[in-house]
């Protein structure tokens, strides 16, 4: 199994509070991604990173920010959580850009915003 | 209109039958196509990739790509109950080199 760890795995929070999800990899892969998965929508890309301090937006980036200060860590922050951000969040990594190589996914972080 | 469309299912097949999963996409410039399998409560895992028109076989799995008709399919021969999962189609889309996923098709293989 690819060495990807997400934390926390489960979190319940209230509307308006900040939330940070962490993704840690031990594979030294260049690319890291944050997806959210909701019923009927499949996996949607929030943000991705192609190197330390190099990040870009995905299709559903509003309300989210990311940071990557080290190769192995990619943080996803919800500055002020809303109920619409209740979802399962998956971190993924790839050695090559995602349209040419395999994505390896973490176990997911289930976030509930009350 | 979603860029990658899949029937959500569930698709129910008896054990030993062929399961056929379909996916259509809107971007004619798409170059890369993947099938990921996701068991309930687990993370997705890659099972097939295909880049050119035609068929690609790997064990019991066959991926089929028809770029002219903009569809990609996955055939699972001799379906087993352990194949019961959600199958996600992923296509390289307009947003740079990033993949766009379909909503997934839930497959149920009944003993």
**A61 and chain B: CB distance < 8 Å anywhere?**
no
Of B71, B65, B64, B83, the residue nearest B19 (C-alpha): B83
Closest chain A C-alpha to B96 CA, distance in angstroms: 9
Q: Each residue's pLDDT tens digit in chain B (111 positions)?
A: 568 999 989 999 999 999 999 999 998 888 889 999 999 999 999 999 998 999 999 999 999 999 999 999 999 999 999 999 999 999 986 545 678 899 999 999 999
pLDDT tens for each residue of B56-73: 999 999 999 999 999 999
Average pLDDT, chain B: 92
Read off the tokens for A80.
Answer: 């002020």
Q: Which two tokens stand for residue B68?
A: 């002219």
Distance in angstroms (rounded) separating the CA atoms of residues B78 and B83: 10
CA A10 to chain centre: 14
Q: CB of B92 within 8 A of CB of B50?
A: no
Q: What burial letters (b/e) apply to A67-97, b meaning 16+ CB within 10 Å?
A: ebeeebebbbbbeebeeebbbbbbbbbbeeb
Residue of B nearest to A46 (CA): B98
pLDDT tens track for A48-96: 999 999 999 998 999 999 999 999 999 999 999 999 999 999 999 988 7
User: Is B65 part of the contact surface with chain A (CB cutoff 8 Å)?
Assistant: no
B101: β partners = B90
| Closest residue in A to B97 (Cα–Cα) | A99
Contacts of A41 in chain B (CB under 8 A): 103
């Amino acid at each position: 199994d690819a060495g990807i760890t997400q934390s926390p795995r489960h979190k319940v929070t209230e509307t308006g509070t900040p939330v940070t999800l962490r993704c840690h990899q031990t594979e030294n892969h260049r690319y890291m991604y944050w997806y959210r998965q909701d019923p009927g929508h499949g996996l949607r890309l929030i943000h991705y990173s192609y190197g330390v301090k190099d990040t870009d937006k995905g299709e559903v980036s509003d309300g989210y920010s990311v940071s990557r200060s080290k190769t192995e860590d990619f943080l996803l922050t919800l500055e002020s959580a809303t109920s619409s951000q209740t979802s399962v969040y998956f971190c993924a990594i790839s050695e090559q850009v995602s349209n040419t190589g395999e994505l390896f996914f973490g176990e997911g972080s289930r976030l509930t915003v009350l | 209109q979603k860029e990658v469309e899949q029937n959500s299912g569930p698709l129910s097949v008896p054990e030993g039958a062929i399961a056929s999963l379909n996916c259509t996409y809107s971007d004619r410039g798409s170059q890369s196509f993947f099938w990921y399998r996701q068991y309930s409560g687990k993370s997705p895992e890659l099972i097939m990739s295909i880049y050119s028109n035609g068929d690609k076989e790997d064990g019991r799995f066959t991926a089929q790509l028809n770029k002219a008709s903009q569809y990609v399919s996955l055939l699972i021969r001799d379906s087993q109950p352990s194949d019961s999962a959600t199958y996600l189609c992923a296509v390289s889309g307009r947003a740079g080199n990033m993949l766009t996923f379909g909503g997934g098709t839930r497959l149920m293989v009944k003993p």
